[in-house]
Structure 1
Amino acid sequence: MFDFWQGAENLPVYAFMIRATIVYVYIFLIVKVLGQRSMSSIDALDFIFGVVIGDILGEPLTDGELPLAGPAAAAAMTAGLHLSLSVLALKTPRFRRIIEDEPIILMKHGKILHKELRKAKITLEAFLMDLRQNSASDLSEVDYAILEMNGAISVIKKSSYETVTLNDMQKNVPSKGYTSVLIEDGQIIEANVKKFGTLDWLREQVHQRGFANPKQIFLMTIDESGQIYVSPK
């Protein structure tokens, strides 16, 4: 009855499906416990965690003779170590420097530091590609380029090439804030509507924009300044 957990020589197909479901939910819960940070970027700790978890829980999914209890316990231990190291790095700056790489300045005051490029094992072609991906194809506009701990390159442009903001132009514009979905695929999101008005208010907004009813709207949003966006079906 519990062959999907204990393992058997001729494990039926439905047992593999049960195992896959258990492992999927199990990894999902582990990731939720570790927090969103583990999914935002891949640093050394996160890479090791992903590889080890995949190796531990991947084999029982394909080999029906292996019991699931051992790999599940090993995965839990790995997740515990990963979480402990992350918390320790958060609370202990000296330990953080051991497991997390320091940012490397690759370009300073418009000058490419070729020694730092070699240190980071980045070719000039790859460096130029990263600059282009940061909308900095003109090297004369770049003040600093920094290799971050997650492997991404951040670009700081010279002040004269920064984008002009409304604050620079001394114009006061109300903040748009967070955008809330009022209608999604023809369905009214009542919880969000109540933050801004009533259902009658929503229907009035729908009619003002030339729609007979919400079912004709694919997406309708509103920001904190009251600006409404509508995309019809």
Structure 2
Amino acid sequence: MIIVVLRTLILYGLVIIALRLMGKREIGQLQPFELVVIIMISELAAIPSENIGVPLLSGIIPILVLLLTGITLAWISLKSERARAIICGTPSVLIERGKILEDELKKNRYSLTDLLEELRIKNVPNISEVEFAVLETNGQLSVFPKSQNRPTIPKDFMLKTQYEGLPLTLIMDGVLNQKNLRQSNKDLNWLMNELKKQKIDRLEGVLLASLDSSDTLFVQTKSSSNIKNK
């Protein structure tokens, strides 16, 4: 039993490392060759972990070969546009200047039902509002509304806006983030004074505290039951 556990942990760690080396992408954003590599790696890892009679190296070596192949193909596709078109394919325009291209739908085996469903997911229920729709190589549909149907932005009215940076999390689940506190150019005394203004005496009682670029502190306290459990 211990051997099975150890073999499973080794293969699990190897698969995690392999996925990390392949990059940070969601499943829906994977290119076809990346998805194939992930599926095959999971299958190869499952065989030695289920069957002790199969040598561990019989699972590790193919996984490393697939990982190296996936990284190599990704590198080649980055360096060569032509190779990328062969490996990953090319985007297909399904709607051009407001007109549905039937030939492209048939070529990609993409039905009108699929098209309308994806448009609804993109918050475009009316197809007459679409100028272009492009089916990307990872299967995602990029939708470009007609200019008169696009939401207005401050730039349209010649308005100047203030810079908005990423908020810094200062406290999470009662634990102070020293690094973010230093990055915000604040100190613990300032933070405690701000918490006292909201009648909070202890860091442990804070569920989340974050500081935005305008120096506005957002604070949410824990429920009384969670504080007692601590």
- Under a length normalisation based on structure 2, what TM-score does the superposition of the two structures give? 0.90
Would you say 1:230 and 2:210 are equivalent positions?
no
Within a 5 Å distance, the mapping from 1:70-85 to structure 2 comes to: 70-85=58-73
Partner of 1:110: 98
Give the C-alpha shift of residue 14 in structure 1. 2.1
Partner of 1:219: 208
Find the aligned partners of 1:41 and 1:116 in 2 and give their Cα distance: 21
Give the C-alpha shift of residue 175 in structure 1. 1.9
Give the C-alpha shift of residue 227 in structure 1. 2.7
Within a 5 Å distance, the mapping from 1:7-156 to structure 2 comes to: 13-37=1-25, 41-156=29-144
Give the C-alpha shift of residue 45 in structure 1. 1.0
Paired residues, number: 221
Local SS of the residue matching 2:89: coil
Paired residue type of 2:180 = N
Partner of 2:187: 198
| Greater mean alpha carbon deviation, residues 144-153 or residues 200-209 | 200-209
Find the aligned partners of 2:115 and 2:207 in 1 and give their Cα distance: 42
Mind listing any 5+ residue stretches in structure 1 that lack a counterpart? Answer: 1-12
Partner of 1:171: 159
Q: Deviations over 1:139-178 (max 9, x none)?
A: 1211111100100101001111111112222222222211
Equivalent residues of 2:89, 2:137 under 8 A apart:
yes
Mind listing any 5+ residue stretches in structure 2 that lack a counterpart? Answer: 223-230
Paired residue type of 1:185 = D
Equivalent residues of 2:96, 2:131 under 8 A apart:
yes
The percentage of counterpart residues that share the same residue type is 25
Give the C-alpha shift of residue 40 in structure 1. 7.0
Partner of 1:162: 150
Local SS of the residue matching 2:161: coil
Find the aligned partners of 1:45 and 1:229 in 2 and give their Cα distance: 44
Partner of 2:196: 207
- Under a length normalisation based on structure 1, what TM-score does the superposition of the two structures give? 0.89
